[in-house]
Amino acid sequence: MSLKIENLTANIGDREILKGLSLEIPKGQVHAIMGKNGSGKSTLAKILAGHPDYEVKGGTATMDGLDLFAMEEPDERSRAGLFVAFQYPMEIPGVTIANFIRAALQARLPEGEELDAVEYYEHLYRQMDALKIDRKFTSRAVNEGFSGGEKKRCEVLQMAMLNPVYAVLDETDSGLDIDALKIVSDGVNAMRSTERGFLVITHYQRLLDYIVPDVVHVMVDGRIVLSGDKTLAHKLEAEGYDWVEKQQPALA
């Protein structure tokens, strides 16, 4: 059981961004991806989610054996258990957080079944309290006018509410203050389980002190070129990416 990506190539327009990427996250594990700006990390997250602007040219992605790319609509993939916390979460004017998450949960119920409103709010408040998000946020429009850190916390709140099987967190640590980083990491750690896998995209080793990964991957130019344990993140933090690229003369 895993989230498995094999030899994935993908374009935006005529430009190839992912160039044969392979990666497997077994259920129960946390993997981290680090890599330079523009190497294709967010592209990977969006392609998994089914973003309409990207075109998959080759390769496969499966979630516990389920073909992700056979599910055309992003909402199908979500309901199948995939969650992406975005690097730049969208603002949705007019739609409150409470209504938004409620609609997302409602969409997971069989036709004709209604979400119990009281239970829903209890659940929502519990998760908000854990993430130290003020309850007043329930009536604010999704991400509208949120600070950078508030947006990221709201992404984690949605993840906690939707209870995915595999979650991709794209730079969820960026924009968080020191306390928030701890709170959000605690939130993620609380969700770690043998029944769930995480892919954590980050630029900073610091996050990985809180959310300790099983494997760290390095992405260069649309490919995973190196994988190792958590000490790899320390080495990258100390030495940068030059040495990785030098080890990969074929890519130069």
Partner 1 sequence: MDTKPDINIDRSIGDFHYDVDYEFDAGTGLTEKTIDYICDVKQDPDWIRDFRKEALRKFNSMPMPTHWASPDLENIVFDNIRYYLSQGTQPKRSWDDVPEDVKRTFERLGIPEQERKFLAGVEAQFDSEAAYSNIKAAVGEQGVIFVGSTEGLQKHPEIFKKWFGKVIPTGDNKFSALNSAVFSGGSFIYIPPGVKVKHPLQAYFRINAENFGQFERTLIIADEGSEVMYMEGCTAPKFETSTLHSAVVELVALKGAKIQYITVQNWSSNVFNLVTKRGLAHEEAEIKWIDCNIGSRLTMKYPGVIMKGRKARGEVISIALAGDGQHQDTGAKMVHAADETTSNIVSKSISIGNGRATYRGLVQVGRHLKGCKNNTECDALLINTESRTDTYPAITVRGKENACQHEASVSKISAEQIFYMQQRGISEGAAMSLAVNGFVNDLVQQFPMEYSVELKRLIDLEMEGSVG
Ligand X SMILES: Nc1ncnc2c1ncn2[C@@H]1O[C@H](COP(=O)(O)OP(=O)(O)OP(=O)(O)O)[C@@H](O)[C@H]1O
Residues near Mg ion (CB under 5 A):
41-42, 87
- 142: three-class secondary structure by DSSP: strand
> Which of 12, 56, 66, 95 lies at the binding interface for partner 1 (CB under 8 A)?
95
**29 touches ligand X (CB under 6 A):** no
Q: Measure the CA–CA gap between 199 and 222, rounded to whole angstroms.
A: 16
> Which of 4, 6, 9, 12 lies at the binding interface for ligand X (CB under 6 A)?
12
For the CB of residue 53, give the shortest distance to partner 1 in the complex, in Å: 8
For the CB of residue 94, give the shortest distance to partner 1 in the complex, in Å: 3
Residue 37: name its binding partner from Mg ion, ligand X, partner 1, none (Cβ under 5 to 8 Å by kind): ligand X
> Which of 48, 83, 86, 87 lies at the binding interface for ligand X (CB under 6 A)?
87
Give one DSSP letter per residue of 163-202, joined into a string: --SEEEEESTTTT--HHHHHHHHHHHHHH--TT-EEEEE-
**141 touches partner 1 (CB under 8 A):** yes
Residue 38: name its binding partner from partner 1, Mg ion, ligand X, none (Cβ under 5 to 8 Å by kind): ligand X
For the CB of residue 148, give the shortest distance to partner 1 in the complex, in Å: 16
> Which of 10, 21, 43, 63 lies at the binding interface for ligand X (CB under 6 A)?
43
For the CB of residue 64, give the shortest distance to ligand X in the complex, in Å: 25
Residue type present at position 235: K
For the CB of residue 199, give the shortest distance to ligand X in the complex, in Å: 13
27 to 66, contacts with partner 1 by CB under 8 A? 49-52
HSE (CB half, 13 Å, CA atoms) of 117?
Answer: 1
**96 touches partner 1 (CB under 8 A):** yes
**75 touches partner 1 (CB under 8 A):** yes
Tokens coding 55: 């075109």
* Own/partner pairs, 63-72, CB within 8 angstroms, 24+ separation: 63/3, 63/4, 63/165, 63/166, 64/1, 64/2, 64/3, 64/27, 64/165, 65/1
HSE (CB half, 13 Å, CA atoms) of 115?
Answer: 19
Give every CB contact of residue 152 below 8 A, 6+ residues apart in sequence. 85, 89, 172, 173, 174, 175, 176, 180, 184
Q: Measure the CA–CA gap between 201 and 224, rounded to whole angstroms.
A: 13
- Interface contacts to partner 1, rule CB under 8 A: 49-52, 73-79, 83-84, 86, 89-96, 99-101, 103-104, 107-108, 110-111, 141, 158, 162
- Interface contacts to ligand X, rule CB under 6 A: 12, 17, 35, 37-43, 53, 87
